[in-house]
Structure 1
Amino acid sequence: GGNGFLASESIDILSEDIHSDLLIIPTALPVYAPPVPDNTYLDTLLHLHSARSCPVLFAAASWWESTTDRVASGMTAIIADGKCRALNQGLVDPDNSLPPSGEPPGPDPNTEAAYTSTATTVLSFSEKPQATKAKTRGESNPIAVGIAEAVGKTSFDPNDPDTCALLNPLPFLPPLTAQSTYAESELNYARRVLRLQALGLARRLLHTGIRHAVIGISGGLDSTLALLAVCAAFRTARLPATNIHCVAMPGFGSSSRTAGNAVRLISSLGLSLDTIDIRPACRQHFHDIGQDPNTHDTTFENVQARERTQILMDLANRLGGLVVGTGDLSELALGWCTYNGDHMSMYAVNSGVSKTLARMMLRAFSHALTNGTNTANALDFAPSDATELSAVLRDIVATPISPELLPLDDAGEIKQSTEAVLGPYELTDFFLYNFLTVGPTREQMLDAAICLFASSPEGSDDSRDPRLAHLRLSPEQIEHYLNGFYRRLINNQFKRSCLPDGVAITPLNLSPRRGWRIPSDAAPNAWLS
């Protein structure tokens, strides 16, 4: 089960010189959406085929398996005569159309069989793929994306461009390619991630028999992406879009820009929006617990977050629906959520999506809709107004990220900036990826981050990845944000120890059941020292 057949010991056993006429591998292999596509599974099957000199039949469970934490791949393959004779990537491949609307939802053998494509091209197996070093720091290496590949176990000179060229500053995104193809690369990846999110939620809806979803819409990045996933899930589960219940809950820090974008977003998708002003209920709660409403502390903020969650949960009870969570992987890592507030839901579609990936996905969808890409191909569903959806997605991406829990400034603008506290998400996601994959020392992480993110002196050429050109960071700022990353990541494990179910997008996830985890009472000093 799982992906155990890929483990080296399993390969050794299956590769032993034992005569067999046919090798059959049934598995519950999960599917992920790595930023860099690879043929790991096919390479493994070809290796086994070569070692055993017999045909290999591979069959992974379909998406109808449990989606508590991940989606099963549904991949099937036949390897014979040195070739991949038949390959079916299943519904998790966005290039495979969803069943026609007349088909029943769920695991239908005839429906699944319709998506089998014959592969006649010989797929070669390379025992050790060779990483090719990028020529400049702007050309991300698709193989050596981790710090370990560049620095090993020792420190390195952050001023050495040859060493820095091995590092990928945006490891949750597709590697940088020629401008003409990068937009296509982003869209393809965004489509695959959205398909995984949709399949995870659709499976939960079909399993429970729940036909309604309730989601809070702020007009911000995360709730927007979550709503797109809900729309795609309802298309997958053959449920009417009228059963998607969107709720705007303005509070003390809600801005006219995000409120307006929420309305535009819902309209462009052909949905309806209910608005519930949480301020009266919060004022009553302040009075009940003795909180001074003019004291804008953590209590002031968390009261609003928990009031919103209470509204969504109670609405779901009344409607017989499911509350869809909107929090993302980056926020979960840093604990940037209210315990038992936005931290909690009934299924979290964004829990495997980093903030940089969420931005990229909305940008890719907006670009595709602007350039006339078939909307059903881009989103797995057809919005009511593709042009308006493209425009509002573009503005949502451009809006400063904020929980909007503190009052606006005198001009009515947002004054609570998430990235001013945590650091740019490009930087924190870089920390997160490398922490979860190779676990470099603090010094290695700092050196690598300075190498990639520190802005060039005035008047000199900026040799950084062009996607980082908007960042102006000093080494001192980078170190400050790194120390904060370690403290927040470790100190907030208690929030991740009780997370709702949600599909993993990559093997790097924070689920307390299958992902990276530590004791809730661990101390960050071990990582900082």
Structure 2
Amino acid sequence: MKDGIIKVAVGTPEVRVADCVYNGEQAAQLAQEADALGAQLLVLPELQLTGYTCGDLFLQPTLLNGALDALAKLLERTKDTDMVVVAGLPVNHRGKLYNCAAVCQKGEVLGLVPKTNLPNYGEFYERRQFTPAFDGIAEISLWGRTVPFGKKLLFSCEELPEFVLGVEICEDLWAMSPPSISLAAAGATVIANLSASNETVGKDEYRRRLVTGQSARLVCGYLYADAGEGESTTDMVFAGHDLIAENGVLLGESGKFTTGLTVSEIDTHRLSFERRRLTSFPHVEGEGFLVIPFSQRMRETTLTRPVSSSPFIPSDPRALARNCEDILTIQAAGLAKRLTHSHAKTAVVGVSGGLDSALALLATVRAMERAGRPRTDIVAVIMPCFGTTQRTKSNAEILCERLGVQVRVVDIARAVEVHFSDIGKDPENQDVTYENAQARERTQVLMDISNLTGGLVVGTGDLSELALGWATYNGDHMSMYGVNASIPKTLVRHLVAHEAGKTGDAQLKKVLLDILDTPVSPELLPAKEGEIQQKTEDIVGPYELHDFFLYHGIRWGCPPKKVLRLAQYAFGEEYDRATILHWLKNFYRRFFAQQFKRSCLPDGPKVGSVSLSPRGDWRMPSDASAALWLSQLQSLEEEG
């Protein structure tokens, strides 16, 4: 439960139709297994204590009493755990029968939630036995204790206020207006669905889309427990297709025609953060809901859910290829519109032989093609200086040649030396002025060539550099349209690789692959024996770590201690705790200190879930203090 993460389970026990003793025992065994795994919530299928396919036997008092006896035994077997168990059974209330979910903890029923939408079509005849949920909240007596009964019940964890449970049952999700909508609006962050969905061809994929889609719409965790082995096969077959989703992402899924547990973790803090961020997410205060508190001891939940070390990179190669194509198209569409609107005669791109400028040039080529203009309307400017190596200069020249763009080579060394003389700068002192003067001279050259050719300067800086402030103010920080502005460094590599894989030009492919193999560097310090001396990741840290920090710390608002925990889990033994903590401190220090550069960024297209544009996703005062964040990291460092 620490960091807002709870371990959850959905389970399909084997059932015997109408054998409540057997079914209760199977539920209890599954509950014990879930508790042993550290689960704080277990959801069982619809009418599991009787079996869903009992038909008119549901009208028999013997079955109804047997279901209550099975529930009592389940309560007895789970009274020594604080895990919440949600079990399905029929309940008789004031002469009517309801298909219910019993929310149980510590040997007690916290509440009973009846099903709202009863299917009475096709193979389903629930209205023959059951009554739909009524409006309002009633009370029912179970073993001498009064229990809340109604569809507007919420169950809230006292120790973790972000963990609020709501319940709906099977068809409720498939209906036009599922109860989970109002439950989420009233504060539920986790929805349990007790289901008995029979299996037909292709239904599993529809069910999967339904569950993940609802979790996305409601920004919630969604737990779907499906009936399976042992249900009557007279007219239907049940597959026990269990699902766990969070905000549109499928975290866990059982195989079909299996029994047992599916376990994962729900991050309630992350869900709450996203709801705060989305001002369109509704909140209905009160509105007739009853909030029932429960208590669970705080403990650290062992992570098993996927946490990618490259959160901006899809693990599926096909999804990655689609994303790359989409991103390049977005870049090209944005730049083509800007070129057309500004009546620019040329697009001017500084090409260094590095990754970012290669991507910017590739996107510019696409933009010109989209605008129906020749590639020769692109002016690629190569500006060697003190740190430029033959490798990068040669790669820049070959890249421009193979892409068929105009090329201008402007050696800026003499101009920078004159500038040093003008400002009284000792060129032997290779300090920040030594470096930044080169970056600003390059930007001046680009701007003046754009004036000379009636053009527009295309920026090359990426999202990771903007997050770290790894850009020279009014140097490479500035352009007229930044096509890479919302693309993290780890993704830049894949975009260039994507283009290399597509091209039929062997020489172009070769040079792109060599650019991918070149160390990331601004090349502002003299090379040693022809090799790059200044390697960015040696100075600011590994970009794969910084992109991870950016995603979890900024996009999802995770506190530094949680970012550290997730990073340790995601990167395993690749980086030890001390290394991750060192670069995490550096990330927060730089992120706060360098906001002034982001406050005056050029325009550029948003392509993914993270952008630092001051006109879009990120608004932050340039003089905000990092003290709280760094203090938390300092305490973690002292803990060792």
TM-score (norm 2): 0.54
Q: Is 1:415 aligned to residue 533 of structure 2?
A: yes
1:340–1:145 CA distance, 2 compared to 1 (3 A): farther
Distance 2:308 2:515 in 1: 26
Bigger shift: residues 507-516 or 394-403: 507-516
**Matched-pair identity in %:** 45
1:147–1:402 CA distance, 2 compared to 1 (3 A): farther
Mapped contact 1:332–1:496 kept (Cα < 8 A): yes
Shift of 1:155: 8.5
Mapped contact 1:327–1:351 kept (Cα < 8 A): yes
Distance 1:49 1:239 in 2: 51
Of 519, 522, 525, the residue aligned with 2:621 is 519
In the alignment, what sits opposite 1:190? 324
In the alignment, what sits opposite 1:391? 510
Bigger shift: residues 335-344 or 443-452: 443-452
Mapped contact 1:347–1:501 kept (Cα < 8 A): yes
1:164–1:341 CA distance, 2 compared to 1 (3 A): farther
Q: Is 1:333 aligned to residue 467 of structure 2?
A: yes
Distance 1:155 1:496 in 2: 39
Larger Rg: 2
- SS of structure 1 residue aligned to 2:461: coil
In the alignment, what sits opposite 1:300? 434
Distance 1:225 1:327 in 2: 10
Shift of 1:392: 1.2
- SS of structure 2 residue aligned to 1:219: coil
Mapped contact 2:420–2:426 kept (Cα < 8 A): yes
1:167–1:340 CA distance, 2 compared to 1 (3 A): same
Q: Is 1:235 aligned to residue 369 of structure 2?
A: yes
1:167–1:124 CA distance, 2 compared to 1 (3 A): closer
Q: Is 1:250 aligned to residue 384 of structure 2?
A: yes
- Correspondence 1:435-454 to 2 at 5 A: 435-454=553-572
1:187–1:274 CA distance, 2 compared to 1 (3 A): same
Shift of 1:436: 2.1
Q: What are structure 2's unaligned runs of at least 5 residues?
A: 1-172, 179-205, 216-221, 223-243, 254-263, 274-297, 632-640
In the alignment, what sits opposite 1:289? 423
Aligned amino acid, residue 513 of structure 1: R
Q: Is 1:166 aligned to residue 284 of structure 2?
A: no
Q: RMSD between aligned alpha carbons?
A: 2.8
Q: Is 1:503 aligned to residue 611 of structure 2?
A: no
Distance 2:352 2:507 in 1: 18
- Correspondence 1:87-106 to 2 at 5 A: none
1:49–1:512 CA distance, 2 compared to 1 (3 A): farther
- SS of structure 2 residue aligned to 1:477: helix
Of 214, 233, 239, the residue aligned with 2:348 is 214
- SS of structure 1 residue aligned to 2:349: strand
- SS of structure 2 residue aligned to 1:345: coil
Q: Is 1:424 aligned to residue 542 of structure 2?
A: yes
**Equivalent residue pairs, number:** 365
- SS of structure 2 residue aligned to 1:304: helix
Distance 1:48 1:454 in 2: 40
- SS of structure 1 residue aligned to 2:457: strand
Distance 2:544 2:306 in 1: 17
User: Which is richer in strand?
Assistant: 2
Mapped contact 1:324–1:349 kept (Cα < 8 A): yes
In the alignment, what sits opposite 2:5? none
Deviations 1:450-481 (A, max 9, x none): 222242xxxxxxxxxxxxxxxx4222111110
Distance 2:443 2:620 in 1: 27
Distance 1:145 1:311 in 2: 52
Q: Is 1:271 aligned to residue 405 of structure 2?
A: yes
Aligned amino acid, residue 343 of structure 1: H
In the alignment, what sits opposite 1:201? 335
Distance 2:307 2:367 in 1: 36
In the alignment, what sits opposite 2:596? 494
1:276–1:155 CA distance, 2 compared to 1 (3 A): farther
1:186–1:498 CA distance, 2 compared to 1 (3 A): same
Aligned amino acid, residue 533 of structure 2: K
In the alignment, what sits opposite 1:317? 451
TM-score (norm 1): 0.65
1:195–1:48 CA distance, 2 compared to 1 (3 A): farther
In the alignment, what sits opposite 1:378? none
Shift of 1:421: 1.5
Aligned amino acid, residue 406 of structure 1: L
Mapped contact 2:345–2:453 kept (Cα < 8 A): no
